[in-house]
């Protein structure tokens, strides 16, 4: 079973600042199946990044993803007020069959 | 508009059962695997189950195997989750989500339905 660890747990930043979120896997994961989601209070998650680095439809280019193997990063280049939320990474593994989410990183206003 | 709308949640006693439903619209339902993902109050996301396009195969997280059953009715563009033998730790918002293998992610999510298990 692959465990995803996200750091930091909480990131306190100001609008306009750069946010760097980390997702680390206990074993190597396929970049093709590494995704990032944003969730705001009371809302469903929204897909931001798939395939480790591809933006989903309608996602602004201030969001970018990178990484491979066991280390992945979500970067928000300049935080907008609407970006303060919780971010989850997620992977799919076939052996065993599992879809695993990380515990999340909360980006809040400093 | 691509949309998933869940229903069927509620308050149930420990050991009880519920049937959650998800109505899909705006896309060709039969082309996609569908999933349930849950979120306990104040906690993170947990994949629960998913099902192939034609319903011929389904997969579950270990903690719900033997208690939950995912199914679909492609004629009605609907996804279901039968939840039995409910436990306090099953209390969560249950989201219906579309899994798109071409991007390797849950790309469409419903708004969720709350299941509360009480003793």
Whether the predicted pLDDT of B107 surpasses 90: yes
Tell me the chain A residues in contact with residue B99 when contact means C-beta distances shorter than 8 Å.
99
Of all residues in chain B, the percent with pLDDT exceeding 90 is: 97
d(CA B50, CA A51): 20
Mean pLDDT within B87-94: 98
pLDDT digits (tens, 9 = 90+) for A80-92: 999 999 999 999 9
Q: CB within 8 A of A18, min separation 6: which ones?
A: A75, A76, A77, A78, A79
d(CA A35, CA A14): 25
Mean pLDDT within B37-49: 97
Mutate to test the interface with A, among B22, B106, B112 (most CBs of A within 10 A): B106
Write out the H or E segment, with its range, that includes residue A3: none
Nearest to B32 by CA among B63, B69, B2: B2
Supply the mean pLDDT for chain B.
Answer: 97
Say yes or no for a CB contact (<8 Å) between B46 and A101.
yes
d(CA A13, CA B52): 42
CA distance B15 to chain A (A): 26
Question: Residue A59 — pLDDT band, cuts 50, 70, 90?
Answer: very high
> Which is higher by pLDDT, A96 or A65?
A65
Contact criterion met (CB below 8 Å) for A6 and A102: yes
CA distance A59 to chain B (A): 12
> Which is higher by pLDDT, A98 or B6?
B6
d(CA B94, CA B5): 11
């Amino acid at each position: 079973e692959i465990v995803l660890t996200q750091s930091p747990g909480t990131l306190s930043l100001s609008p306009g600042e750069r946010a760097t979120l980390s997702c680390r896997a206990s074993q190597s994961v396929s970049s093709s199946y590494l995704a990032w989601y944003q969730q705001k209070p009371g809302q469903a998650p929204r897909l931001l990044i798939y395939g480790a680095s591809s933006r989903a439809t309608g996602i602004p280019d201030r969001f970018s993803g990178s990484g491979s193997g066991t280390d992945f990063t979500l970067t928000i280049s300049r935080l907008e007020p609407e970006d303060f939320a919780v971010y989850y990474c997620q992977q799919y593994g076939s052996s065993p069959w599992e879809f695993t989410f990380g515990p999340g990183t909360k980006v809040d206003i400093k | 508009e691509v949309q998933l709308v869940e229903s069927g949640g509620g308050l149930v006693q420990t050991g009880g059962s519920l049937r959650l439903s998800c109505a899909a619209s705006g896309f060709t339902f039969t082309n996609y695997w569908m999933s349930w993902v849950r979120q306990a109050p104040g906690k993170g996301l947990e994949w629960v189950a998913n099902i192939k396009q034609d319903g011929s195969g389904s997969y579950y997280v270990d903690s719900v195997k033997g208690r939950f059953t995912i199914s679909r009715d492609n004629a009605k563009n609907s996804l279901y989750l039968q939840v039995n033998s409910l436990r306090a730790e099953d209390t969560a918002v249950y989201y219906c989500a579309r899994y798109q293998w071409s991007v390797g992610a849950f790309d469409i999510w419903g708004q969720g339905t709350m299941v509360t298990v009480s003793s």
